[in-house]
Amino acid sequence: MMRFCVLGVFLFFLVPSLVSAGFYPNSSAVPPDLRRSATGNVWNSFLNFTGCHAGMKVDGLYKLKKYFQHFGYIPETLSGNFTDDFDDILKTAVEMYQRNFQLNVTGELDELTLNHVVIPRCGVADVVNGTSTMHSGRRAYEVSFTGRGSRFNAVKLYSFFPGEPRWPERRRDLTYAFEPRNALTEEVKSVFSRAFVRWAEVIPLTFTRSETFSTSDISIGFYSGEHGDGEPFDGEMGTLAHAFSPPNGHFHLDQNENWIVSGDGGDGRFLSETWAIDLESVAVHEIGHVLGLGHSSVQDSIMYPTITTGRRKVDLTSDDVEGVQYLYGANPNFNGSTSSPPSTQQRDTGDSGAAFRIDGSRSVLTKLLMSTVGLFFLYSL
């Protein structure tokens, strides 16, 4: 009996929780010790390359080449052993990156470029098969406005995945479910409900929560490192999440991040914690990918690839709305402006129709009990 107890306690502290992500209702709920021990961005070492240009050789430069290849700026066909040389391959990648993010195109690793490279971002590539999905040179939607005044053009920079995939017309009521092993609280789940509402408001699609993860149209889960889709997460403040084009429906988030889930404040509001990420902001962006939207070079748009820490960005811009309506048409009830969904203090309803109360607390005790039960099963095997 004593041997069992000792082994159980030992395993209890060694077996990681199903979800290691930190979910906090607001910045004041973050433990002081965690604030002090927060690590920096996994890409911050790239800042050491400031001033590098073609012809130079700098230790560790191959890591930056891998970064650019991950986001499509260097073709997979050149996936051999990268060197630390600032060669033409890297120069071309830097120029395309600068063009996509509307930076000064120099082909050099200047301070402004690298400061942008290290911003946390979506894991979906900006360049597919050598073609950028972002800058206006790929596909400019020019809309002419003629009135009593002067005539001008507005360029739309939204983009799509290759082939413009979308959910078929027979599937207009999409279901979504959460990875059951994550054991998410209703507070966290309600963040995604609000995010789906923002898109449903502008297109004729509905999103219904399901409890059946294996058969839902959209599957949402928090994972760490390599998790089976060939797109491993890289740790805190790097790649935040990624999602796949229709009709795949897979939507994955990095469980090593610290997430704010309150839903308080409007678009553009900066949270007091600069190392935490607003979960709803990321959720709205990734749902855009699930619907078929690619990245946009419009900095204020939801589909812009990066989001600075502490920022809340949840309101669809005209670029986002026009892009998704190109794929699905407009919601007949859409009046041209979006409204804010209910906050976490209001209730969220699942597909069963039952109301769930969101109390803003984190079910630590529940997770500990579940882990303990798991240990009993583990020992019995």
Q: What are phi and psi for residue 256, nearest 5 degrees?
A: -90, 0
Task: Specify which residues 156 forms β-bridges with.
Answer: 141
The reported pTM is 0.79
CA separation for the pair 177, 281 (Å, rounded):
19
Is 186 labeled as ligand-binding? no
- Domain 47-117, CATH: 1.10.101.10
The region of weakest confidence among 41-45, 118-122, 179-183, 266-270 is 266-270
Q: Is 254 annotated as a binding residue?
A: yes
Domain boundaries, given as residue ranges, for the chain: 47-117, 173-364
The verdict on whether residue 285 carries a ligand-binding annotation is: yes
Spatial CA neighbour of 281 closest among 255, 300, 256: 300
- C-alpha 198/C-alpha 188 separation (Å) is 17
As annotated, the active-site residues are 286
Asked whether residue 70 is marked as a ligand-binding residue, the answer is no
Task: Evaluate whether the domain defined by 173-364 bears CATH number 3.40.390.10.
Answer: yes
Comparing 47-117 with 173-364, is the CATH topology the same? no
- 235 marked ligand binding residue: yes
**Across 1-5, 16-20, 49-53, least confident range:** 1-5
Is 50 exceeded by the pLDDT of residue 146? no
pLDDT tens sequence across 84-120: 999 999 999 999 999 999 999 999 999 999 999 999 9
Q: Is 229 within any annotated ligand binding site?
A: yes
What integer pLDDT is reported at residue 236 of this predicted model? 83
Q: Is pLDDT larger for residue 308 or for residue 146? A: 308
